Amino acid sequence: MMQLTIDEILNLTVIEEYDYYMPFNEFEVFQPLNGMDVSEIDMTTTKNLKEKSYVLDLCNDGQARQLNVISYLDNPFVVYQYTGKGDVVNEAIIDEDIYKEFIQDYISEFLTKPKIKVFSGKDMYEIRNYDKGYFLIGNNTLVSKNAASKQIIHS
């Protein structure tokens, strides 16, 4: 097993450098961003992410493990390995300040966009309460239990 410090990794020769392209839901460290649909939004914050590959490890188990570092505004903040089967493993935050800055910038930019889709969910959401009745919320309006039951019957 080869062990390197973060500084030693960052001083290695870069194999490849490219714009960040992985979906955030592949990473545990980016969970605060899951659920935000930016597919139709031009996000400047994401354009400031770059990725560098430092080590390509061809393992005996038939998988390649590529050591990658993600940078925000040219500041490295996440390191991870990408296996040949498309899995992100061994991810770690290497600069918490840059990580927090990126998350905050991303969410702030997302909230300023006119076309926000937080989830592709339904327009009706059922809330169960303690007396085993239910309410429905539709178009940001709380519907009474009686109206809700009539609405379900007519649906």
Q: Which of 58-62, 99-103, 109-113 has the lowest mean pLDDT?
A: 58-62
Sorted by where each begins, the domain ranges of the chain are 6-112, 124-154
Reported confidence tier of residue 61, pLDDT bands at 50, 70, 90: low
Tokens 């040949």 found at:
84
State residue 5's pLDDT score: 83
Tens digit of each residue's pLDDT (9 = 90 or more) over 71-84:
999 999 999 988 76
